[in-house]
Structure 1
Amino acid sequence: MGLAYICRPGASRRSTDGRSTDGGEGTMQARAQIGVTGLAVMGRNLARNFAHHGYTVAVHNRTPARTRELIEEFNHEGAFVPAESIEEFVAALERPRRMMIMVKAGEATDAVIDEFTPLLEPGDMIIDGGNAHFADTRRREAALRERGIHFVGTGVSGGEEGALNGPSIMPGGSVDAYAVLGPMLETISAHVDGEPCCTHIGSDGAGHFVKMVHNGIEYADMQLISEAYDLLRQVTDHTPAEIAEIFRGWNEGRLDSYLIEITADILAHTDPATGQPFIDIVADAAGQKGTGRWTVQTALDLGSPVTAIAQATFARVASSRGELRAAYRAMPGGIRPPVRHDEAARFVSQVEHALYASKVIAYDQGWTMIRDAAAEYGWDIDLGAVARIWRGGCIIRAAFLDRIRAAHAANPGLVSLLAEETFAAEIADAQVPWREVVASAAHRGVPTPAFSAALAYYDTLRAERLPAALIQGQRDYFGAHTYQRTDRPGTFHTHWAQPGRPETEV
């Protein structure tokens, strides 16, 4: 297949930002403002999104049949330039060339980069819109920078629907690359209150790092919601349909979010094959694609205590360990009679408090991790802007993100959400019900790893003194790892095996 100009009637002149405006159809070789290679669902939908916004889009896939399918099905939606070879694809792109790769993270991404790089010139850019590990992005960006090519690791959140209708977009890379690419990404992103859900996150791997943390928060949010459902099901004896109505009510208040909305829809759904609640015929073993695991592993490297995110990730792992679960299943548990009918409404309110407080903690852990990484890698990340671009398009979009944005805008040095007055007041108000929910879950044997981890994290950081002092003593005793004192500066070691156990300053 040679290059063909496929477009809507009236799409040849371009506006000042490069988008097509009007003109006639033609068959001459086209010049595309953006190219997408890798036309699985996400790549195809992003290409269509660009086309919907007036851009001429070059499209390419390793399997040419997929390119032809896109053209046959969607050519009426905008201006596409199909290419069967990588040479045709690159030749279709205007300078500076902007090509987005949407392939599997890892070796496949490296293979595509290696294939295309010899055809590119200084000033061109490769945009990786997949879920790449940020360390790989840093490596790729440094290597391509030496050749004068911009590499833009870009987090894209919102799934296939967001990719088509407006995702949250988190590009990293250089400021110069964003100056050229940013207006296009902002145009196709979701918009909230007239603002694009896209901003330049920071240099090299910052965009993919922030997307990774987004997914870690997503793990925690989903686990917390699932624990809330489980508590309502087991403690109050509500049916899934009744719990769906509870969630719909919550979605009209401070828990207003996409995940709460879809949870209500899922719980209200009846399986057409069995007539049973859909939730009861789904296997209780949750999968994952690795970004939650990356978040936890990276948090350990950074020394960032993302305990709620970690427990949510481990909960997914535990759910899939069938043989291990079978070995534990016959073991005794808590007492599980449902609460009395007149107590159910109170318990529902307590769970709402616990869910909200735990959610705030999980998000705060994510923001702390981003701040820690920015310090480690020299990224200048606007934490308020991160909250702003997550308000629409992405999976964790929620009403309270605007409050997080406002909090960081008012105080760019904000250390924690709990240092902001209104969030602090809400957590204080949630104290009693939050603790009662976790205690009730433990008494009844209902697992709440994320609720419990969030509360323990809160209590750990608010404690005036922690048992870490004993751990320091233990480390010094068996390994001479030293310790600090509270009464004077310096580093010390006690000679535990000597008479009188003398202490020396190291």
Structure 2
Amino acid sequence: MQMGMIGLGRMGGNMVKRLREGGHEIVGFDMNPESGRDVDSLEALVASLAAPRIVWVMVPAGAATDSTVNQLGELLEAGDIVVDGGNSKYTDDRIHAAALADKGIGFLDCGVSGGVWGAERGYALMIGGEDATYETVKPIFETLKPEGEYGLVHAGPVGGGHFAKMVHNGIEYGMMQAFGEGFATMMRSEYVTNPAQTMDSWRSGSVVASWLLDLFENATADDPELKDVPAVANESGEARWMVEAALELGVPTPATAAALWQRQTSRGGADDILRTVTALRAQFGGHVTKVDEIATH
């Protein structure tokens, strides 16, 4: 198939590589002239594609995606299709789909998982949108997914793909938090002398075996105690959206919420909170408040 790709960063660029290796004709555009782009504008991208066109948007969620989709709405024609493969919020998808539908342009939202390894391993894809639109683009999805039965799902109507990816990332937060808590507990125990090697042993035969453990082995190969890794973990929004959606749906999500709060804490936002707690404890209970005094207790 022929398709345009907007955004040639770590994800988009690798996806283009996999698609071209799969025999598809991909025209790439990126704002960065150093990106290896094929054209230098959205107008040139659209002009280079034969109708009916398929254009995949792989840019940061929010303003960048909104602007790109709006511009495509002015450039594309009835019968064309836009795929949003970024991490947009599922509620934004319905806004984009409705605006494009007014002009006869189809829309699919696609949650993508696989990171920088996707070009080699394939990508897990979660699609939202109408059946006919999905079937039109399916050969592209089939090339991007891993070989075998799994890795691709038509999750539901518009918004379903990004909703599924949001839940996927919430689960990912909880899994990484659990691995981190287990590693930290072993690091502080006299009973386990090599926590990294112990966790590596779980990669085979264990019920917690996973690709995350494979990646943990990579991370600890040269730094088994992770001393060179900063204790800061940013959050990109999906777990927060999942907790919000779960609250609206009446679903308890304590593991995801705990992992989310831990990431927020790591960014320093908890410093003032803990200083306040310490100061109040000192006021009503006479507890230690000075840093040098805490160190001696």
Q: What TM-score does the superposition give when structure 2 sets the normalisation length?
A: 0.86
Partner of 2:235: 288
Shift of 1:113: 1.2
Q: Structure 1 residues 243, 265: closer, same or farther in 2, change over 3 A?
A: farther
Shift of 1:187: 1.8
Partner of 2:174: helix, strand, or coil?
A: helix
Conserved in 2, the CA contact under 8 Å of 1:123 and 1:150? yes
Which of 252, 255, 259 does residue 204 from structure 2 map onto? 252
1:66 and 2:34 equivalent? Answer: yes
Supply the distance in 2 between the matched residues of 1:167 and 1:320 (Cα, whole angstroms). 30
Partner of 2:174: 220
The two structures, once aligned, show a CA RMSD in angstroms of 2.1
Supply the distance in 2 between the matched residues of 1:164 and 1:66 (Cα, whole angstroms). 23
Partner of 1:145: 101
Which of 2, 5, 22 does residue 53 from structure 1 map onto? 22
| Residues 192-341 of structure 1: pairs in structure 2 closer than 5 A | 194-236=148-190, 238-239=192-193, 242-253=194-205, 254-270=207-223, 277=224, 279-321=226-268, 323-324=271-272, 327=275
Greater Rg over alpha carbons, structure: 1
Q: Which sits farther off after the overlay, 209-218 or 120-129?
A: 120-129
Shift of 1:280: 2.0
Q: Structure 1 residues 169, 265: closer, same or farther in 2, change over 3 A?
A: same
Shift of 1:323: 2.2
Q: Structure 1 residues 88, 281: closer, same or farther in 2, change over 3 A?
A: closer
Identity in percent? 36
Partner of 2:66: helix, strand, or coil?
A: helix
Partner of 1:108: 64
User: Number of aligned pairs?
Assistant: 277
Q: Which sits farther off after the overlay, 211-220 or 229-238?
A: 229-238
Supply the distance in 2 between the matched residues of 1:105 and 1:163 (Cα, whole angstroms). 21
Unaligned runs of 5+ residues in structure 2 are 282-297
Shift of 1:134: 0.3
Could you list the per-position Cα deviations for residues 5-59 of structure 1 after superposition, in whole angstroms to 9, with x for gaps in the alignment? xxxxxxxxxxxxx4xxxxxxxxxxxxxx111011122111111111110111111
Conserved in 2, the CA contact under 8 Å of 1:169 and 1:197? yes
Conserved in 2, the CA contact under 8 Å of 1:51 and 1:57? yes
Conserved in 2, the CA contact under 8 Å of 1:35 and 1:59? yes
Supply the distance in 2 between the matched residues of 1:257 and 1:102 (Cα, whole angstroms). 27
Supply the distance in 2 between the matched residues of 1:265 and 1:119 (Cα, whole angstroms). 45
Q: Structure 1 residues 218, 244: closer, same or farther in 2, change over 3 A?
A: same
Give the residue type in structure 2 aligned to 1:91: A
| Residues 412-427 of structure 1: pairs in structure 2 closer than 5 A | none
Partner of 2:112: helix, strand, or coil?
A: strand
Shift of 1:278: 5.1
Supply the distance in 2 between the matched residues of 1:164 and 1:124 (Cα, whole angstroms). 29
Conserved in 2, the CA contact under 8 Å of 1:269 and 1:278? no
Supply the distance in 2 between the matched residues of 1:206 and 1:293 (Cα, whole angstroms). 17
Supply the distance in 1 between the matched residues of 2:225 and 2:20 (Cα, whole angstroms). 37
Partner of 1:200: helix, strand, or coil?
A: strand
Partner of 2:286: none
Supply the distance in 1 between the matched residues of 2:229 and 2:200 (Cα, whole angstroms). 21
Give the residue type in structure 2 aligned to 1:314: W
Partner of 1:42: 11
